[in-house]
Every structure is written in structure tokens, then in C-alpha cells.
Structure 1
């Protein structure tokens, strides 16, 4: 066994300047792509009631001049928000066009209360989707904000997302089974992901905003004040939603760094999601990224679960087709081919998958490939004192099995920003050309590509974390439905 430590990866911001922290990097240097151009405008539409639309717009107006930091002994963890406008580090402002604002009829919302839960859910989705359709037909904005009213909020079983104001999720205490790791998407219906799936055919990015984001009192009024989905402080809420909207407007806030001597690398996460009909059918998908975090989503074919193995696997032909398609989409998106493929999966590779993946690599002419299995580990490390191991701590059990702490104590924050004892990631190298340390460095860096959350100590790399967001939406999209390739349609 060997114990090692990986320093916090830096990110690149405006002027190619670097910093380990997302928020401080944006404050000091501005977004990656801002350059010397004139201030930008994000043309935004809004759907909601008059009350929720007014409340949201008033909050954005307050945020323009900045939001003070909350009182804390960890100022780097809870910094102030510098504002959002021409004179802010973002050098970007919103343009709320009155012609792109649509009011949900109060009578129709009241009628939902008289219907069954599922009827109200489907009608609520259709009600909002029809208004989004009207906006796109009138003049397509960069993003449409859905100021969710209480009548629709009660239909949604999902917890709040980071950009909607939820505090970072705590570490789960129980170990998930292999099937749970791979198939995290059940058959329950929820409004937000149904809505994202329904409007995907319009090609219009949306941002669903909960009332508690701009009105903390709304959480207490909703009866959800039991601590589940803890509300973030206002400055953090402002950081997260403004950054998410900047990304959804097709701008890039930051990227991970790379050495120019490194091979151009394509990072791919392979995962599966369940169908809604409760059959044992799952569909494969791939999330494809370069070093910038520019990604495309690729949907593969349905897979029949085996009675002898609850974890889905691809046939050799389907494994080849999925990665072949993913690499072609990478080339189409980035105008060049990668020299190296790094594949992340949350279950073991069988012989057929390895054969298919390697055949795709060979036929596409790549120089090298690394195939990894990444899961939550059951083993934990302990250090002296009150705090858990440092983020970046790596324990190599042997040449192929390693533990990596992506959640843990963070020196920059001067604390561990979690509620429970963190679990490291278990990294198994099924096939590797690169060194284990280099593979772990890449995983740690990929945890910082989360445009929904500006707190950088995320637990999973984007290759696998995005799988949950994408799978929750794609399960509502028919086999012949439109699948948008960009992550901004799923987050």
C-alpha cells in the first residue's frame, strides 16, 4: 500500500489566469471566455404567476449590486457575491424582454387542486410547456426561467438542485449496491424532469427556480422547514444561479487546466437508466467531454437485464457502437479527434464490453485508452484530530485498486464542508496506459466541472455525476424523441 496526496487542481478563468477556487477565480479574473469584448446580454424569458415573476425579477435586481457574505469563521467557503451586470466581474447583464414573459392563468392553476396527483402533474407540465412554446415561437431567448408557483411546487417530489438553493448533499451513510450505483433512476414521476424532457423538442434551455431561491420565507410557508434540502445563504444562492444561467446562455465560466504536452483527451462516462414502464429494460448513454468541460450527450440502445446479473452490460456490438458514436460526436463538436480516451463506468467491465470499446478505439485511430470503474468505497481512512482526511488523499492498495478522497477537509475552506463522515471513491483500473496518480489527478479535476454549484469540492467527476441529471430527464423522452446533445438542457 502507498499513501499519496494530490494538490487541489487549479482552474482557468479570464485571461487564462488560474485559481483553485471557482468563486475567487471569477471575482479576480472574470469568466474564461469574457476577453476584451463589450458587456454581454443574456436575453431571458420568464414563465410564472405575476407574484413569482415579480419576486424573481426583484431578487435579480437586488443581486445586480452584489450580496453580502454571511457571518462565518470560514470566509472562503461563504464569500460575498460581487454582482451581475456590466461593471461586475461577469461583465454580463440580463435583458428581460416583456414580450417573452408569460403569465400562468390563475384559474388553471387552481383547477389542478381538484385533480388527482398524476393528472395534475401531467396538466401542470403541459401548462408550462405551452407557454415556453409560445415564447420560442415569438423570439427565442438564451434561456427561459420558470418561476415555479406553489401550486406546481407541490407536485414535484424531487429535492432542490444546487442552482435552486439547496445546500450540498451530505454523504450517504449506507453503501449502495452495484445495481443502485448503475441504475439510480426509478420510475416515479416528477415535474421538473418531466418538464425538461417535454420542452427539449423546442431546443430551448430552461432554468426552474423555486420560490425559496429568492424568498427564504417561502420555504417555511411551504411546510418544508424540517431541514431536508437545507437552504443556502443568499450569497451562495446568487453565485449558483447566476453561474448556471451564464452557462445555459452558452458561455463558459471556467475550465480545468492541461499541460500542452498532454495528449488531447476525450473523457467519457458510460451509464444506464431505467425505462418508465417498469420493465427490466435500461438504456445506455454516454457523456463525452474534453478538457474544457465542453460535453455532448449520446443515447445508446436499450439493454435487457440478465436474470443472473442485476447490473446491465453491453454486448460487444453495442459497446462498439456507443463509443464509436461518442467519438464521432466529439469530433463533430470540437473539430478534431482525440488522441486518448478515458472511460469512466460505475460497474465492472465484462469481456464483451472491453472487446467492443477497444475495437472502437482502434478503428478511430486513438493512441491510448484507460478504462476505469469508479464507485463509492466502503473503506475509510482516519486522521488525527476532529476532521476527516484531506480532499486529494490517495491510497493505492495495489497497482489496480485505489482510494481517492474527493470529499474531505479542504485547506482553502479551512474546514470540511459536510455533515457526515465522507467516503472516498474507489478507483479500479480495468485497463490502463496512464499512471494511477495521473488518472486520480484527472478525476479530482473533473469534480470541479459543476456549473450548478460553485463550491468546488464535489464528490463525483462530471463524467458520472451528470449521468444522474441526464438519466432523470431522458427516461421521459420517447425512443424516437428529440435528445439534445448539450448538458445545459438537463441541468
Structure 2
């Protein structure tokens, strides 16, 4: 019995350090594990360059006429100081947009504010409400395109009364708007009615202000160097969408690229796979590409990297996707990346059945331990095999709290990501630490981390948009257009 019990034991766990964020391109001491605290103390990463590019972030608006003043009041509120009312152990005081980002927040000229009728039925044109709304969005962005030098970001307000039309089984106004924004190269910020009544003004201001700054081409933070990560490492995240007739379905592969270890250079590649899907049921369960398609999409991704890096190849390339790599995908990757010395294909699965409980000593002989009041620490890693490991990206993060403990969301027992390396080599701790770090690079919220690395998060976002907007061209897009 003792032998079988020992054989079933997992290896000892490892606690990985919370990755640091950098808030300066010239001062390596301006780092913090907490994104909002770092912004408050040091300002944004691009503070030295963004102010020279523009003295202000200018906001255009689109939405129902009756809420025009409410939209203006919301933008004015971002200039003010707000004290936190929720998550007070994590959220610092919001100091106002200009104090935080070192540029002003201003309304665009009057011509850049488009007022829709309050009723969808009053929108011009024929057809069903979805068709009318789509044409209204297209007309608004086309009109704003002619004023492109007068604004930086467009707020688009979909009132809750329009919800039966804006989100249906066959139409998603949010995704349609993002696709139109990509077409016109206009970043958009969607609003619903909740923002006007949300009681926690500091949290709302942190989220909305950071999103607007990023969509105006600012950089709030980057990743500080991770110990052990080779220079010239690049990351590619793959997500798949099916589109086309069910009898002749094709994948569209979406690459969310975090070109550098510091999180810079994210661009999307929307790639139309050439080979039809042979088994639709298998494709939905475990989507994959043929060798030729994988070679083609990664070759295109590599060209983008070289375009940003004076023609140089990365020395190490890590490819993330949420399902297992088929052998022909691995072969296609190595075909395309023959000039890259170190290639890793890593499956990042959030569908883990594992759970963990953090135990503390009782100081008594029986029982020896007791469950802690907080979950396992974020960054806990357990090796499962020679090529797989569990990493808790959700968990207790006391380093970002002013009270000693912090569990984001405060609900349920967190489950780990299951990382499986299908090709490549190196320490599993490094593979896990990179995944942990990349969960901190979603600039579209005020959270400490996302449930999955940004390489996965944004590729999934574009895949969803493509699935809902089938005529979005296969192209290269700045990721901020889809935030």
C-alpha cells in the first residue's frame, strides 16, 4: 500500500515569481507587479513618446440622440479624481486622465459626433432592424473616415433597449462594428447603458481610460524581462474559426502575435485556409490545419516579424493554441520556421479537471495541516510529465494587495492551465512562467490577469469576430481595432 501511495504522488510544486511590468523604456527601475499601481506611480510606458505624437486623446461619439449629453458627461468624468469603492485592496485611487497618462482627454469637433434616432425603426433604409443598424454603423464610420485627423477613438453607444437586435443568433453588433472599424482603420469603444449607472466610478474610470489610451495608440505597460527567456523570443497564438457552407467549410486561422517578450508589436493575421475540412465533427472537437496551411500561415507571420525587426529572424519562437498539435501541424511549423533555431509548440488548455487547495500547518500532531482561507498562490506550478505541467494563473496574489491577500473575482476554487509541449525543449518552469506573464498583457481591462495568455485571448477574439462577420477579409490588423 505504501508503495502504491508513493507512486501516485505528484512531484513537489514550484512557486514562480509574479512577473514584473515595465513602465519606462529608459529606466529599468520603473517596474511593478501591479498594473494600476505602476501606472499611478510611474505613468504609462509610452509617456516619453506619446505626448510628442499628440497633446490629447480626442473622442468622437456615435449613438442615440437622447443620450448625447450622458456620453459627454461620462467622458468628462474621466478627467476627475475618483476614490475606489470596490476591490479596495487592489484598486488605487484614480487620479484623472491627464494626471495618469500625461495627455489631455478632449471631445472631438462637433462634426465628429453622430446622433442616431432613439428608435431602431427610425434608422434610414429598408430591411430588418439588423440590416438597418449595420448600414447605420457603416455610414457613421464612413463619415468619420473623412474626418480621421480630427479624432483618435470613437465611442459607439448601443442602448439596452436595442439588445434584442444588437445580439441575436445571427448578428452581433459589437463584432460587426469591430469588423467595420478594421475596414476603415478606426478604433472603437462600445458602450452600453450600464456605464452611466455603474456605482464604482474609480473602477469604471481605470478600465475605460486605459482602453481609450491604448486604442489611441498608447502603451500603458510592457513586460519586464523574464529571467531565463532568451533574447529575440517571439510568440504566436493560434485560434481557429469555421466559416463557409457546412458542406465545404474552411478554417480561418487567426494569429495574435506578441512579437517580443515585452509584449510589444501585437498584430492579427486573419488567414484563409485553402484546404477544405474533411471531418466537420472532428474539426469542431479538435480544430487543426493541414501541413500546407500551417506552413503558409506561419510563413506569413514570420514575414511580419521580420518586417518589424530589420529582416532578422527570432532566435526562439513559441506557438500557443488551445488544442493539441497534430503531427502535420508540427511538420508545417518546422517547414515554415526552418531558419529559427528554437521552436516550441505548446498546448494551453483551460479545460482542466485539476483543483488545488493551499494547506497551512496547524502546529499540532493531528491534523498536521488545514485549508487556508485563500486559494493556492498565483504562479503555483506542478510538473505532470516530461512535457507537461499545471500552472495556476488564477490564485492568491498578495503582492498586489494593500491588505496582504488578493484573489481576483473571489469566486470558486481556481483551476490551473494545463500546458503540454508537443515540440521543442527547455525547462518547463520557463514555459509556465511565460504563460503566466502573458496573462498580464490584456490592456482592455483593469484586472491583474486574464484566464489565459494574451496570445490566446486575442486570437480567440478575432476568431469570434470572423465567425460572426464572414466577409472580413483575410488581412493583417492592429489588435487595438478589435479590443
> Please, what TM-score do these two structures have when normalized by structure 2?
0.85
Alignment of 1:10-409 (within 5 A): 10-14=20-24, 15-16=27-28, 17-35=30-48, 37=51, 40-70=55-85, 75-85=88-98, 88-106=99-117, 109-111=120-122, 119-140=128-149, 141-157=151-167, 188-216=170-198, 233-258=200-225, 262-275=230-243, 277=245, 280-289=249-258, 290-293=260-263, 294-302=265-273, 303-306=276-279, 309=282, 310-335=285-310, 336-362=312-338, 365-376=339-350, 377-383=352-358, 384-409=371-396
2:416 and 2:226 map into 1 onto residues whose CA distance is 27
1:197 and 1:276 map into 2 onto residues whose CA distance is 17
Is the Cα contact below 8 Å between 2:241 and 2:251 reproduced in 1?
yes
Which residue of 425, 440, 451 corresponds with 2:443? Answer: 451
Instruction: Measure how far apart 1:277 and its partner are.
Output: 5.0
Paired residue secondary structure (2:180): helix
Paired residue secondary structure (1:326): helix
Q: Deviations over 1:237-264 (max 9, x none)?
A: 1111111111111111100112698221
Paired residue secondary structure (1:485): strand
**Greater Cα offset, 322-331 or 89-98:** 89-98
Residues 35 and 102 of structure 1, relative CA distance in 2, 3 Å threshold: closer
Aligned partner of 2:412 in structure 1 is: 420
Is the Cα contact below 8 Å between 1:33 and 1:251 reproduced in 2?
yes
Is the Cα contact below 8 Å between 2:179 and 2:472 reproduced in 1?
no
1:434 and 1:142 map into 2 onto residues whose CA distance is 43
2:209 and 2:444 map into 1 onto residues whose CA distance is 9
Is the Cα contact below 8 Å between 1:305 and 1:312 reproduced in 2?
no
Q: Deviations over 1:245-296 (max 9, x none)?
A: 1111111110011269822111001110122655543322211112232211
Residues 269 and 233 of structure 1, relative CA distance in 2, 3 Å threshold: same
Aligned partner of 1:178 in structure 2 is: none
Instruction: Measure how far apart 1:151 and its partner are.
Output: 4.4
Residues 442 and 7 of structure 1, relative CA distance in 2, 3 Å threshold: same
Q: RMSD of aligned C-alpha atoms?
A: 2.5
2:308 and 2:131 map into 1 onto residues whose CA distance is 35
Is the Cα contact below 8 Å between 1:102 and 1:131 reproduced in 2?
no
Aligned partner of 1:465 in structure 2 is: 457
> Please, what TM-score do these two structures have when normalized by structure 1?
0.83
Q: Which has the larger radius of gyration?
A: 2
Aligned residues: 440
* Corresponding position: 1:439 with 2:431: yes
Instruction: Measure how far apart 1:34 and its partner are.
Output: 0.4
Instruction: Measure how far apart 1:333 and its partner are.
Output: 3.1
Residues 214 and 337 of structure 1, relative CA distance in 2, 3 Å threshold: farther
Paired residue secondary structure (2:101): coil
Is the Cα contact below 8 Å between 2:250 and 2:277 reproduced in 1?
yes
Is the Cα contact below 8 Å between 1:342 and 1:370 reproduced in 2?
yes
Is the Cα contact below 8 Å between 1:46 and 1:102 reproduced in 2?
yes
What 5-or-longer segments of structure 2 have no aligned partner? 1-10, 359-370
1:245 and 1:390 map into 2 onto residues whose CA distance is 32
